Chains A and B, each alone.
Chain A
């Protein structure tokens, strides 16, 4: 590392980078001393409960609130039209998704409800129980309208248009073409062709969405305690739509009980809660219950993809073609839009491989179901599953081993930097090294032998692989360029306190993934103090530097680099004071373990507590022409590449019972290259948690709708999530290719598990089923679907 001046931070003495430091903020959570939004109570606080549409599509004829308003404890019963005078509607479009359209969405529906669960009135009362009682007494006269549930039929002439103003139910479409796909397919020795169905599912954060808004009318100030991932983004949106000064809106994110992309969007009921606080001039709390979570948290992944892959006799991929269709509910979600997942599928399908001939089309349509938007690994699970399933099917068709076909087609490790067929720029990936490491970890050859032996005894086990790339550390090319006020840059302010400790404020946020620990490790390393002398402060727009928050696997890479630069600047400022005190050149000094030392030999000179004492309390002893600055702020945004792509590969080993259709997961392996690994344990756990969310999509999770647009399994008893007993042990290893876009070299790691796991599991199922002549390309791969594939039901 020492011969790499670009990544000089990795050479600091007593470095915490690369060490599995336990998270400082975890002890509190282990003792039940967390600070989640619902744990907070403010004086004169009220509780909001929403009356929600029981229909997927219905016009509101009248709302009679006489009885509800008279119920015990009720302060207000508010309709959409009334609230619209406090909160303007929004439209979820971005200019770089050309042609994307959507309808204005109100905090509370005004004329009609467009999905089952959309709020149509709010009841505010002294207690939640009283508000719930009164909500049942709001009498609404409905006119049922025809639901639009089947995305395949959304554009048909006979299907009603959901929003008349838009003319049709098409939100967005995109086409991409490179090379000569038709000719390459004609030249192929085999073409694997399948129709994939990906079930709509959702995030199921254990802490539901939660918000407590407190309006102070005397100063026109709104303080919002919010379970959210992007406080500055929300500050902007609350100010804009409630007509407040942005500097008068403060968003505070304390502990967040899971987010995964669920808590980074504008939710109508959360906007409404803020508007109700402004209207009533009192604090108002809204905590979604579990039914509301299923009906109103964003859903994701409702895609149908027709796809084919042409392969040459020698195993080279010749061409790839996808036709994607997705239904996003009645609105494109604000401000990130609901076009990004489809866009990612077009961009990422086939991305690990050399494939010059590629054609892709996607259509994004409106439906009267819960809105869909970005959830962990946005688009990746679909692009990876389509690519990897077709590749293994094509390899089987020419009788080639799935490993051999990957070795042949994966972009060579020495080919970087390079550009994918879709135009994505890859700085440095390590597909081959990662694959070889994975094969070694899992003993691929041994596993194949075991599989063959067991098949003789009627036991059907499968091995599935999945290679992938993942988008991390996004620049302004992701959202900012399209007009969204979502910060791609992030900042860090570091201050030496009077006792020699470091206070570190960062714009990235903590939702349990360990962002605060990682920032503390970087800060301690960059300044040169023990990590227990660092306190990290996140999640408060009044306090932290302006930043994007934590999403798109950006906290460690972008927030971490801002911390590197702020820490170095603070060290320089400290050494300036030390140089004066010690009568030495600042460049001859360093800070190690919280003390100023001679850089050359590490000889101890003076403690940081003494520097703090002199600078803050005895400035009279410093020269008159010198002013100490024991604080530094630095910002960072990726500049050389629009995204820091990571890569990885996963493998699944499982058994399918052909009599019951039940899949038993036996083991899962993953190798990931996220550049510099700041905290190996935290990266491993991001991988494991992400993999299990991907397994959920592959085997269990599905928002099941009736033809009328009723969500049939909106409870945790009916919507299956991965539980401990069904999950396998997961082995994780790393290859490190640091990005040259930052001194730290870290890329993101939060979504890679979810990106690759569904494909690995599906490939393993199909590997197990292959000798039985069956295959499945629908997720979740439930026992019923597997038995159907086997022709048994």
Chain B
């Protein structure tokens, strides 16, 4: 009968559709297709890809958007990408503890293009020995990096406010920083002419806090990384600093980001101090007016210890269950050790992950020379932050953002905010620990 036929056709159609979709998913079984979760063409340029394909005839490189839910979905479907863009600083222990990332040590051992002795110390953020970040096997590489707790000053704003620039050799401390910000902020109620400061929290709140706390000699985590304690004297002091900064209304906070975004405000001479690393010099180079009024400064100290970590360490890792790991490594050799790496160094968008490329950093313009000078001294103070294997840094950031926002809006004291953060994060850490151990 008609009904039966149609029904059968319908069901067949649906089943066919499902099968086709499953096959046409994001990963692929084609041995010559490399699936990269990365930003093309912004970070992996078309030229980078063309060179690679030229050297590996028959290979196609397919990009999928950098998106945590997509990654989860691809893993769940048993079809992860071959290379994943990620922040090594924040994510390495988490990835390794979940047995998601491939140990790259054997690849380094075999490789001529990329050997361990060529790597800048910043690549250590991608190392994890099962208890501490910074040592042990390598699970990824940085494409470039910065010591992100440093900052830039807009000299036009300083001049207009009649405020002296800080020292470019000796780091100021966070309280002096806040004081400068107060003097540089010009506002009438909620209407700002200039903002004083955007501290180095734009990329990751948790990384910024871990840096502050470690400078004060503490840690937000317990010894075994299974709990957080924001009530410790060092962590509570960091929270108190942030809440004071927010209450002073001198810059961007989680509750009130700058309406135009941080770097446009800085470029428009409406922001005095911007907590970005060396990579920002790449952005400045396109703006000749701005290039004349920027200066680069060492990372301020929160506690007695001078720390200047990388807060992101963006690079790539290879999933353990990836289908084309050798091809992925070949791409790494090209991307991290070949011409793309040199081009990146020459652009000034961050420090190269390969030590020898330091000499390729731009130094034509005066601001570039000033920044490079400060940066080279700062390299001596490079430090690696500790993150917990039991919680994704995105969850740390989410909790900090949510609870700090609450604290700012309700005018809560630091101790109360610390309790709120502990209460949201510790169940998560407990869950994470149960899952991976």
Do A and B form a real pair?
no
